[in-house]
Structure 1
């Protein structure tokens, strides 16, 4: 955890000085219990932005290929990442994610699956809904506005929890739950940038 805390501090300094990072809505994040943060995804800098300014540590998935590096792989593990195979269902990663939430931790997900090259929000994959249904975690939507250009402001807003009780009671599908989550991410976008 010491390396994680140091990493948070370094990232916070860089993001604040270089990108004038502004964080809104931290009060929406529960102080305890399982939480899933679901955000749009524009850049490799999104995970440090989402995790550096909040008190609770985040766990997150990273593509499996990154863990094959002799030095970067162990570093990712110490930064609380775990591997996921892209392009299909990774049962190991799904089990790990559920375990994280069962332990009352926070899990960061990008429901779109990969970065958006245009900045537009794409359709979400069913994985986010799967974790929400299997864990009973509080789901917090987030939206990153900006393009990480030096000395241009990047704004991150955490929204209120996504209401999922009705969908859970109705035994909705994972995709239906993901669609609900994505609609709340788009609502944050519209609040910050205007409707698309």
Structure 2
């Protein structure tokens, strides 16, 4: 991940020079072990912003269309991202995500599955809930707030791990997924609300 670390330093410097880059709650990220970062999605800038906000490398799930772009797709693989089909049950992507967590890495997910056109938090997809329930990862909610205009603020609010022990079970029902995704999205919303206050 040498390329990732080099790029992270460059991108972080860019954000610090051209934006008011603020990160709150970095201490909530475990220094080791599997972690799932769940965040709201407002811009294509969000993945590099998250990568700049925490010290550990993040493996992002990204829409498969991006991997079909010449050169850019190869670049995404190089920095540890992997494709996911949107709007369906992508077993290959889910399997890859579990492998990332099994290797004690950090997985980055935008549960809305697409960027919000209004800036308001949208509905979450069940895949994030499945990973949260069936893995031993710490689930960390993140709120991102910015217009991404030069010299304007980029605020990242990192919350505490979400307790989901009561949902850890062998068989996961669809109603459990619905309930858990609701909990996950509520925790992301809490991070956003705290920045407004």
* 1:187 alignment counterpart: 190
Moved segments of 4+, more than 4 Å? 169-172
Check if 1:80 corresponds to 2:76. no
What's the counterpart of residue 112 of structure 1?
Answer: 112
What is the CA RMSD across the aligned residues, in angstroms?
A: 1.5
Corresponding residue for residue 59 of structure 1:
59
The residue aligned with 1:34 is: 34
Cα distance in 2, alignment partners of residues 63 and 183 from structure 1:
23
Asked whether the equivalents of residues 134 and 168 of structure 2 are also in contact (C-alpha less than 8 Å), the reply is no
TM-score, length-scaled by structure 1: 0.94
3-state secondary structure, aligned to 2:49 = helix
- Which consecutive unaligned segments of at least 5 residues does structure 1 have? none
Q: 2:134 is paired with a residue of what secondary structure? A: helix
Q: State the number of aligned residues.
A: 194
Native 8 Å contact 2:53 2:156 kept in 1: no
Structure 1, 170-179 or 49-58: larger mean CA deviation: 170-179
Say whether the 8 Å CA contact 2:142–2:157 is kept in structure 1. yes
Unaligned runs of 5+ in 2: none
Flag the 1:35–1:63 CA change in 2: closer, same or farther, 3 A. same
